[in-house]
Amino acid sequence: MESTTALRHTPLFDRHVTAGAKLVPFAGWEMPVQYEGVKEEHLAVRASCGVFDVSHMGEIQTEGPGAQALLQRLLSNDVSKLDVGDAQYSVLCKEGGGILDDLFTYRLGEDSYLTVTNAANHEKDLAWFERHAADFECTVGDRLESWAMLAVQGPDARGIVAGLAEAELPPRMRAERVPLAGDLDGVTALVCGTGYTGEDGVEILVEPGAAERLWDALVAAGAVPAGLAARDTLRTEVCFHLYGNDMDESRNPIEAGLGWCCKEDTGFIGAEAVAKARSEGTAEKLVPFAFTGPGIPRQGNQVLVGGEPAGEVTSGTFSPSLEKGIGMAYVRADAAEPGTEIEVDVRGKRRAARIESRPLYDPTKKES
Amino acid sequence: MAAESYPEDLKYHPEHDWARIEGDQATFGITWYAQDALGEVVFFEPPEVGATISKDSAYAEVESVKAVSDVYAPLSGEVTEVNEALADNPERINEDPYGEGWLVKVKLSDPSEADQLLDVDAYKNLLGSDS
């Protein structure tokens, strides 16, 4: 399908081409999967700082006196806990508890919220928001075209971004409008203390016309361009979910290990099903695992416990930080304890692995 | 990573494998083009010494962080040696694809199969029409 449909380009597309990125179709966009190499980019984020173009991600703005009530109905987390400037993670569920998307929501003002969607789900999410907005005193706006989004991640990320900013950066899980300096004088960015790598850092939303100048300034200050492949290996090491791999409409947040962002007493759509799954337990659970010998797990590989089929790998990769095969898999709930020895069938070869606790790699414990 | 090159003394298979033939013995590996397309190799799954491999069939796997690629036998024979050093240093396939990044040594069962392989000019033409 993607070969016959025109792929969309982010405002940074020319920068990726100039940098010699390998470009691939991703959720309808032509995106950089890597520049110099996945391992180098991955390790640069762990050791210093990487910059990712994530402008393909969508944004939905919900505004008006009923905005909070609408979001409380749609999002699994307790939106009333958000002060202005706060960020919050949640999932969007169907009535039966199946996950439509996972989202970050930022409270921009008293009655204004910005929700970041996964590129592949943006249109679906937008339709879901609009369909339910009728009963609430608020407007729902598609802001995909309004923002370019750059993720700047790694132990040096804040220092690099601070050098381009005229004001203090927000701490973790906060979002602030920050005026930028130098070539970006006159541009105000929305800087968010969030990310998808486990490292400290920020995600920066700017007007599309300023994206190239911001990219150039970040790279000039030492941020290493990093592609979607490194983004995926980084998030897998810290066990962050990828929609479409580790959850979809057939999975509920309890089996996906996302019960922590579900507050059923808020009455969100799907809350009853989630409460039932929480009290009764689920047949399977999503668990992280690491190989104890050779091999690299891949999505779709079968998991065996005691030699019997017991689940399936949903994310699998080589871990550049741990230098071994790692992944996440749904396995039978009675075999999901950390420490359980499992096997993964990788194209006919049974590879030894062990279920681990989250995260597989802890950036806060790295040696310096 | 090594600079792009295709040595003149090798024979090439269209699946981007090379063979260095010495009588009824040969060394196999993957070409610069193959390792570049795959990216940094992080795992090499060799065949067992003694295994019989057949021309045009997959006999090993190389994996990068994000991808798996079968390695095709340019010629038929029995594996007499595998490059054990690749277990700890698979990146040698990227750094030196025709030297330290060799994959296996094979006793050929039918050395005349070599007539079906490409010489360096024919292989370069194939790459030219590929891209």
Considering A167, A201, A236, which residue would you say is the last residue of a domain? A236
pLDDT at B129: 75
From chain B residues 44-103, the ones with a CB under 8 A of any chain A CB are 45, 61, 63-66, 68, 87
| Residue type, position A364, single letter | T
Pairwise CA distance, residues B94 & B38, whole Å? 9
Q: How far is CA A137 from CA A67, A132, A255, in A?
A: 7, 11, 34
Split at pLDDT 50, 70, 90, the class of B66 is confident
pLDDT at B1: 73
Q: Render pLDDT for B20-64 as a digit per residue (tens, 0 to 9).
A: 999 999 999 999 999 999 999 999 999 999 999 999 999 999 999
Considering A236, A266, A294, which residue would you say is the last residue of a domain? A236
* Among chain B residues, CA nearest to A40: B40
- Domain membership flag for residue A265: no
Pairwise CA distance, residues B26 & B33, whole Å? 20
> In this structure, what CATH number is given to the domain that contains residue A130?
3.30.70.1400
Pairwise CA distance, residues A22 & A36, whole Å? 9
Subunit contact A229:B45, Cβ cutoff 8 A: no
pLDDT at A315: 98
| Omega prior to A359 cis, within 30 of 0 | yes
pLDDT at A1: 45
pLDDT at A368: 47
pLDDT at A365: 83
> In this structure, what CATH number is given to the domain that contains residue A307?
2.40.30.110
Torsion sign, CA atoms A196, A197, A198, A204:
negative
Q: Render pLDDT for B95-117 as a digit per residue (tens, 0 to 9).
A: 999 999 999 999 999 999 999 99
> In this structure, what CATH number is given to the domain that contains residue A213?
3.30.1360.120
- Is A31 in the same domain as A164? yes
Q: Which two tokens stand for residue B100?
A: 């330290």
**Number of helices (H), then strands (E), in chain B:** 3, 9
Split at pLDDT 50, 70, 90, the class of B2 is confident
- Residues pairing with A210 in the sheet: none
- Domain membership flag for residue A267: no
- Is A316 in the same domain as A361? yes
Give the structural domain span for B40.
Answer: 15-116
Subunit contact B66:A38, Cβ cutoff 8 A: yes
- Domain membership flag for residue A1: no
- Domain membership flag for residue B65: yes
> In this structure, what CATH number is given to the domain that contains residue B19?
2.40.50.100
- Is A181 in the same domain as A42? yes
From chain A residues 191-230, the ones with a CB under 8 A of any chain B CB are 229
- Domain membership flag for residue A230: yes
Give the structural domain span for A226.
Answer: 13-55+147-236
Q: Which residues of chain A have pLDDT under 70?
A: 1-4, 366-368
Q: How far is CA A326 from CA A13, A257, A286, A303, B79, in A?
A: 31, 18, 13, 13, 31
Split at pLDDT 50, 70, 90, the class of B88 is very high
From chain A residues 67-96, the ones with a CB under 8 A of any chain B CB are none
- Domain membership flag for residue A205: yes
Nearest to A38 among B1, B39, B43 (CB): B39
The total number of structural domains that make up chain B = 1
Residues in chain A closer than 8 A to B87 (CB atoms)? 294
Whether chain B has a CB inside 8 Å of the CB on A320: the answer is yes
Subunit contact B65:A347, Cβ cutoff 8 A: no
- Domain membership flag for residue A363: yes
The 3-state secondary structure of A140-178 reads EEECHHHCEEEEEECCCHHHHHHCCECCCCCCCCEEEEE
Q: How far is CA A246 from CA A50, A257, A305, A314, in A?
A: 24, 10, 20, 5
Subunit contact A295:B68, Cβ cutoff 8 A: no
Torsion sign, CA atoms A19, A25, A26, A28:
positive
Nearest to B43 among A296, A320, A347 (CB): A296
- Residues pairing with A302 in the sheet: A312, A345
- Domain membership flag for residue B8: no
- Domain membership flag for residue A327: yes
